[in-house]
Structure 1
């Protein structure tokens, strides 16, 4: 039976991305529809609600993490987490099936922007397996900071590269445009320093946000602020933190809600093993400027979080109630999972945790 194309599109739009990826090898007609860029973008925006997958970068590999919110698999009923699988990215420079060593990752629309241990840059869709290796104008540096975002004006993805030169407050920036497949300079800034130990950057509605430190941090009452980058206009903007977030907060970390794609902020106040956690939600994002309106969601105490570290033999993320050399904290708020990373030792790199939503979004390839 030959179904009308409109009906096929309607049916496929209700199928999760992971299942659609499997259908591509079943039927040429379905494959043509699935790989169509407009369908992929529409499916990501309006398709069935998909729970985000928590992925963790451990020893240069991307692992899938299963979160048990209700403690079904735990005798004491406490929430738990364990490693359930791995995304594999093969190295095109290897004659064997050797995998790429991934040093860092950034998520946007189901795509991962990955920095490799040997300083290469690749955009990867783990759901479809599609990749695009990005060549530098000169060379990449270990101190580079990256972000992947979407230009709503040109309907194209872009990569932001920031490179500190000389001192952390002197930053040269450039953008890679997937439409032209080339890099161009954005300029030099000397007003801020991004605190990478607190902020890897979060992408929301065409803007990426980080926590930054003012160049006048030693004399300013507002030494910390929110830095945004607009991928459509290719410009930075300094935004104030919520009024309740003071400089006395120990750490301030960003996350994103699952469904509405709202920016969230975690501000920790306290000392030792006793602390309070204030959660703020950006209830409004100005479309043209990226400015945010914040609402204080609520205050939590340490009992609502799980401190986890990886047990490689059992593939389990083990809860801890002591300070470790490095650890991550998963905050469970209702059925949403927020990730906060804390690094207690500057010599030990904290494993990276991301929430990843599978998608069929295609990567714009060059000719």
Structure 2
């Protein structure tokens, strides 16, 4: 046989285009490849260029549960696959109960029911437990993002407590927290309303202003006022579409009307465009994810405190289809159910 020795640079370019799950399996076949897959420069470029094998995840029964949404039937259906459980073999060999999740680059920043904080890569089955002050844990909001360096990304965690004039930032590289106590927000941020897009975190404040946190400068900035009427009891929920754009759900509490908005590129002056509206019997009040922008389909979460059910709703424009999927969940108030798009990655967190 004739062996062809390809230049290493060409091999890298080919590997950049291999999906994450396939690449993970290749790592066990070649030590040189495995070493490459642990290189931060490679994982950064691979995440940016490789085909995205995204899946819809829902925090259900304190675990990450993949969802399969079938739109090819008359009444669209939801099927839950085997849940992925977070475990800590050093602390507790049993399942760790997740109460909140924040997604960034295939990493899940999780809080637990025993007031701990962990960053988890389910694809690599890696975890990093973060030491922090447990005071006011249940009243704190956490977000994950990064600072773009030349060849890699420097990941950081934002922690906002009940005190509106202070926040903390954890840096992975130094394994330490920094406290910022000389700043003032004009508005407060509801718990767990944020999303990550291109390294920065975005939040909706109580007064319906879009706020961003830049992990490079470690500072907050006001992006814009949202293009919706200001009502104290309205629901506004952020999401990320295709890892490229911000999307927003606005639910008017006076009516059953729900609007889905899409933002333009965050690299430009931000503007919003309403993509479609529907009339809802049950309001969406927890989280949502835009499944198919062209066919105008979203999956929403609604938490019914009266019977501790979570209802998943699939919606099409003009009520073309509407499906409810009740799921009994824990009666613990600490679990905040959410739906989000998860993209597996090779990002190392150790």
Aligned to 1:159: 157
Classify 1:328/1:176 alpha carbon distance in 2 versus 1 (closer, same or farther; 3 Å).
Answer: closer
Aligned to 1:360: 346
Q: Which runs of 5+ in 1 are unaligned?
A: 72-76, 214-222, 304-320
Q: Hey, what's the Cα distance between the residues in 2 that align with 1:140 and 1:178? A: 22
Shift of 1:94: 4.0
Contact 1:242 1:294 in 2 (8 A): no
Classify 1:105/1:131 alpha carbon distance in 2 versus 1 (closer, same or farther; 3 Å).
Answer: same
Pair 1:183-2:185 in alignment: no
Aligned to 1:313: none
Candidates 329, 340, 351, aligned match of 2:337: 351
Candidates 137, 143, 146, aligned match of 1:141: 137
Q: Hey, what's the Cα distance between the residues in 2 that align with 1:242 and 1:102? A: 31
Contact 1:150 1:156 in 2 (8 A): yes
Pair 1:258-2:235 in alignment: no
Aligned to 1:247: 230
Shift of 1:340: 4.1
Classify 1:146/1:357 alpha carbon distance in 2 versus 1 (closer, same or farther; 3 Å).
Answer: same
| Residues 96-123 of structure 1, C-alpha deviations (whole Å, 9 max, x = no match) | x412111111000111111111111111
Q: Which runs of 5+ in 2 are unaligned?
A: 307-331
Classify 1:67/1:27 alpha carbon distance in 2 versus 1 (closer, same or farther; 3 Å).
Answer: same
Candidates 198, 201, 225, aligned match of 1:205: 198
Pair 1:297-2:283 in alignment: no
Shift of 1:267: 1.7
SS at match of 1:296: strand
Candidates 20, 27, 31, aligned match of 2:30: 27
| Residues 44-91 of structure 1, C-alpha deviations (whole Å, 9 max, x = no match) | 10112x2421111112111111121322xxxxx122211112223221
Classify 1:335/1:46 alpha carbon distance in 2 versus 1 (closer, same or farther; 3 Å).
Answer: farther
Aligned to 1:114: 110
Q: Hey, what's the Cα distance between the residues in 2 that align with 1:329 and 1:88? A: 22
What TM-score results when the alignment is normalised by the length of structure 1?
Answer: 0.77
Classify 1:144/1:339 alpha carbon distance in 2 versus 1 (closer, same or farther; 3 Å).
Answer: farther
Contact 1:161 1:174 in 2 (8 A): yes
Shift of 1:8: 2.5
